[in-house]
Chains A and B, each alone.
Chain A
Amino acid sequence: MSTKYSITTVFSSFMYGIVAIPVQIEVYLTPGINTFDILGLCDSSIMESRGRIRAALVASGYSFPHGHITISISPSYIKKAGTNFDLPIAIGILIASKQVRINCSKKLYAEGELSLDGQIKATPGGALRLSCAKKENYDFYYLPSDQKPSCKCASLSCSLNETLLDCIESMKRKYCPIKYSLDTVEEDDENYDVSIIKGQPKALRTLFISACGWHNVLLVGSPGCGKTMAGRLIKLLLPPLSNDEVCEIFALNNAISRTLESEDSISASRPFRYVIQDTTTSILIGSNSKLKPGEVVLANRGVLFADELCEYKKGVIDCLRQPMEDRLITFNKDGNEYKFPTNFIFVGSTNPCNCGNYYEKKSKCTCTEAQRLRYEQKISGPFLDRIDLFCEMHRVDNDGLKQIAFTKTDGEIRFLKEKVAQCWLVQKERARQAGIEECLNGQMVEENLVEIFRADKRIIEYCADMSTLYSCSARGFLRLLKIGRTIADIEGHKDIEQSDIAEAFSYRNREFGVGKY
């Protein structure tokens, strides 16, 4: 005697590194001794879900079916991990055991982790999975209510539920998805004041130019002169993210940092990643084998701040060269190429020498020339070549302190921020007119820069004279031009003027890796 047992199919997806892969979950109930098997290269986090599902079903008032339960998750050749299969498996079991009925021809997508008492909880990387699921075009979406921000990001219409019971009960009714609209908030940093780097107008100007034109910066100065504070300032100067950018960044960062979504609205502030000196290549770049990018991707469209650059382990800084140049990193796994954007402003800070007092007047530098050279050489030449602006900083003395006391700073941050936003508009408009992808001056890779930047022959000659005078590379020449263009944008000049180039010239590298002659 044989009975035809039907197979229930539920759809879900999981994170392979930080790439979302859609899966199909099949549930097969047959009579016999009670067993519960999950197939498809599942790791222990999925195997453990058996206990959670059983408890949650019972706690929600449903019965756990007797007999063999076989769950197969396909594609079954990829190793899987994650707890978001709890809900789809539970739903599958309920449908297979006929405790709830749905239209068999419709495709149902579900994800979420179950607690023993039947609560549905969110899992990291929701936004990426949902945008992947959206493309597959399923008929029903049942998601944890904690994942509201992710739904907003993926602009997915779905049904959000807090408990398994709610979910199953809503399945019995008519499916009425809700589409949540994206709302963003900008973090309030008003109490953070520009006066912390008062008395250091060069540093402020450098960071301002950097924010205006997306230029990389290296701050060099003695300990306690406010490098770290200055570096943090740049975050406040950058305009807020656009809605598309917010989604892109929220999705990736949520998946990489494995944080759970908590608030209802998503922050539109730009990322600011602070990297400490004992960092490693795998923290910065990420792990290829696990397909998990690191800080460079987290800092995308924001700032990567590397403090005490000279204290980094050998080779760690240099691994930043490729992401800074190409503005993306490429991972190769199983013959597939995965690209992640790394479009950040690099802000570095370092001491000028081992004792740190090389630039100071009052405290004497105790380093020998050889020690100093050795210290400088910790940052390689090719890396320095990718830094646009160099700024020396000093401890603020009497005059500077007076200036702090006498000058008003109210609203200066807001004023500068508006100025940056204006500059961005000018630059994007210029890129649009030139028929290239919208980008800021620091990101330009086009070859006919001279034309796009509106630099006349006299300026080019002046620029070339300056760069030969101080033996700059070809990249140095272009860098001078790019910074000059940004300054011209700030000053509101249509064509680059000689004074713009002259100012740009004062931010060049003077100490690091530069011989005396």
Chain B
Amino acid sequence: MDSNEKLYADIYYSCFIESEGIGTRVIQNLIDKEAIDSIRSLNQLAKEDYAKIDSLCSSDFDKLDSALRAREKILMDTEASFEIARVNGITSVSVEDEEYPLPFRQLSGMPKVIYCKGRRELLSKVSTNGSVSIVGTRGPSSYATYATKDFSTKLSNKGIVIVSGLALGIDRVAHSSCIEAKGDTIAVLAGGPDNTYPLCNKDIYEVICKRGLVVSERKPGTKAVKQYFPSRNRLISALSDACLVMEAGVNSGTLHTASFAAAQGKEVFVLPNSIYYENNMGGHMLVSDGANILYDISHVIDSVAREVFYRKLGSFPTELDNINSTNSMIKELRCKLLRNSDALTSENYKVLLCDELTIRPMDSDELASSLKLPFSKLSVLLSELEVEHRIQMIKGKYILTFR
């Protein structure tokens, strides 16, 4: 399957479940009972494939039947949507793909297909670098704006991905200051990924498409409708390791995001404000419900680092497969190092450096003597590795970071 076919199949899937409101449970049942191979082969679904599945109830059968009857219309929708996607350079990521965000796999009720525009690699960066969602009101006070800018910039500088909803106010500030700080940002839209809402955020939307990532669970061409916003909010919180609520009114949609985050087991941080300030009552309610108070950036970074660390531990077995191939490569490099060290590129040296550091922390002098490298060359490599967040110095010795 090439990427266009994948995209087509994914859009077909979206149109199919949307047409009759078929839930993911039904689709999962179809896959489990081998009626279809994967969501991408939904196109080949026929009535006899699912007729015998006993775990489906009668209303499910009705929905599937009517969806099959409306196949012509679904195909038309798919064509239209596919065209929009092609023109706008929108791609899809489904649960079949490796890039499908790790948090989505671990949580229930996440969409099986998401549409993206921009740098798709940010989806995996979310789990490797950690991410923070910054949400809040559309009409923030200057205090909350200032704090948003501050936290967004500092977190971006640490390499943490900033997730928000591309709304006015806090969302906008969070995205724009992250981009200014040359950080990675993900905007989760309520409508299709081609559909900027509100329209006045078009400028920043364009920038995010180039330097960040725009994500949506709706197929291209979908208009942003009021009822889509809460489900968009659950994606924002799902994509992040911690949720920062900068300012929220009593009936704010931000409270949805916060409660989704809490339900998904993410830390919620609320920026404190005056109790006489009406527009932050929602935030104060969250605090009284047990949310953390946001006053020190290091608490957020600690919490994200912890999540990243646990994920790293959890994913260790899958990495074991790679270890053998890496080992043989390192052996080869070591031979080269002994015989003719001129042939080694700086990237090769970096691999060797990281390999040295897997055993124990080492200082630069030890590294220089073990790699037989003059310090002037070594220091360049070490600095670059540090900037790439692959190593760091603690107690005068270099160690590998968990990222």
Is there contact, CB below 8 Å, between B363 and A400?
A: no
Task: For B382, list chain A residues within 8 Å (CB).
Answer: 506
Interface residues in A460-485 by Cβ distance below 8 A to B read 465-466, 468-469, 471
Known A-B contacts A359-B397, A399-B370, A503-B380; the reply to A199 vs B365 at CB < 8 A is yes
The 10 closest A-B pairs by CB, nearest first: A359-B396, A201-B375, A506-B379, A502-B383, A392-B396, A505-B383, A205-B375, A502-B380, A503-B379, A499-B380
Interchain CA distance A221-B397 in the complex, whole Å: 12
Interface residues in A430-485 by Cβ distance below 8 A to B read 465-466, 468-469, 471
Task: For A54, list chain B residues within 8 Å (CB).
Answer: none
Interchain CA distance A384-B383 in the complex, whole Å: 21
Interchain CA distance A435-B369 in the complex, whole Å: 43
| A516 beta carbon closer than 8 Å to chain B | yes
Known A-B contacts A392-B396, A469-B387, A517-B297; the reply to A491 vs B376 at CB < 8 A is yes
Name the residue in B301, B366, B379, B386 with the highest tally of chain A Cβ atoms < 10 Å from its Cβ: B379
Other-chain residue from B157, B368, B379, B384 in contact with A468 (beta carbon distance below 8 A) = B157
- CB 8 Å contact bits of A373-393 with B (1 = contact, 0 = none): 000000000000000000010
A-binding residues in B (CB < 8 A): 157-158, 181-182, 297-298, 301, 363-366, 368-370, 374-376, 378-380, 382-384, 386-387, 393, 395-397
A500: nearest chain-B partner, CB-CB: B380
- CB 8 Å contact bits of A481-517 with B (1 = contact, 0 = none): 0000001001100000001001101110011000011
A22–chain B nearest beta-carbon distance, Å: 54
| A282 beta carbon closer than 8 Å to chain B | no
Interchain CA distance A205-B395 in the complex, whole Å: 20
Indicate the size class of the contact surface on chain A: 35 or more
Interchain CA distance A491-B379 in the complex, whole Å: 14
Other-chain residue from A204, A365, A399, A502 in contact with B379 (beta carbon distance below 8 A) = A502
A-B contact pairs, 16 of them (CB 8 A): A199-B369, A359-B396, A394-B365, A465-B182, A471-B157, A502-B383, A502-B384, A503-B376, A503-B380, A503-B383, A505-B387, A506-B364, A510-B393, A510-B396, A511-B396, A517-B297
Is there contact, CB below 8 Å, between B396 and A352?
A: yes
| A220 beta carbon closer than 8 Å to chain B | yes
Name the residue in A202, A204, A400, A465 with the highest tally of chain B Cβ atoms < 10 Å from its Cβ: A202
Is there contact, CB below 8 Å, between B376 and A516?
A: no
Interface residues in A338-371 by Cβ distance below 8 A to B read 352, 358-359, 361, 365
B288–chain A nearest beta-carbon distance, Å: 28
Interchain CA distance A469-B366 in the complex, whole Å: 26
Interchain CA distance A160-B386 in the complex, whole Å: 66
B394: nearest chain-A partner, CB-CB: A510
A497: nearest chain-B partner, CB-CB: B380
Task: For B365, list chain A residues within 8 Å (CB).
Answer: 199-203, 394, 396, 400
Known A-B contacts A201-B368, A202-B368, A468-B181; the reply to A517 vs B396 at CB < 8 A is no
| A35 beta carbon closer than 8 Å to chain B | no
